[in-house]
Amino acid sequence: MAVIELTQENYQKEVIESDKPVLIDFFATWCGPCKMVSPVVDQIANERPDIKVCKLDVDKNLDLARTFQVMSVPTLVAMKNGKMINKIIGAMPKAQILKMFD
């Protein structure tokens, strides 16, 4: 499944109304660790059709970043039924990211 570019405009539909768990990757284009975790997030999107994967550019979507109290990037958030179930900060291996949904 393709990674969805998340914005304020599509957040309600893609995250709150999603019938699947959602992984949100809060990133910035200038962030080195974000560039390291991005291919891992892409892999999850390709390998796990049961998880909707979204990326959110914090510089373009400050309000959503504030809503999730994102203080540093990358921040990865796991959502289920419109509610945050887990949050990790920093570049993490795929196995640790997937454990957010256990």
> What pLDDT is stored for residue 94 in this prediction?
97
pLDDT in tens, 62-74: 999 999 999 999 9
Under a CB-based contact definition with an 8 Å cutoff, are residues 89 and 72 in contact?
yes
Provide, rounded to the nearest whole percent, the portion of the chain with pLDDT above 70. 100
Residue in 4, 31, 64, 92 annotated catalytic: 31
DSSP bridge partners of 60: none
Q: Which domains does the chain have, with CATH numbers?
A: 4-101 (3.40.30.10)
**pLDDT of amino acid 22:** 98
What average pLDDT does the chain have?
A: 96
Residues 26, 23, 8, 71: is their CA dihedral positive or negative? negative
What are the tens digits of pLDDT across the range 27-58?
A: 999 999 999 999 999 999 999 999 999 999 99
| 31 belongs to the catalytic site | yes
- Whether the pLDDT of residue 1 is over 80: the answer is no
Tell me the three state secondary structure of residue 80. strand
| C-alpha 40 chain-centroid distance | 11
Q: Which listed residue (6, 15, 23, 34) is catalytic?
A: 34
Please state, in angstroms and rounded to a whole number, the distance separating the CA atoms of residues 20 and 22: 6
How far separated are the first and last CA of the chain, in Å rounded?
A: 20
Could you confirm whether 54 is annotated as catalytic? no
Residue pointed to by tokens 């994967």 = 53
pLDDT score of 23 more than 80: yes
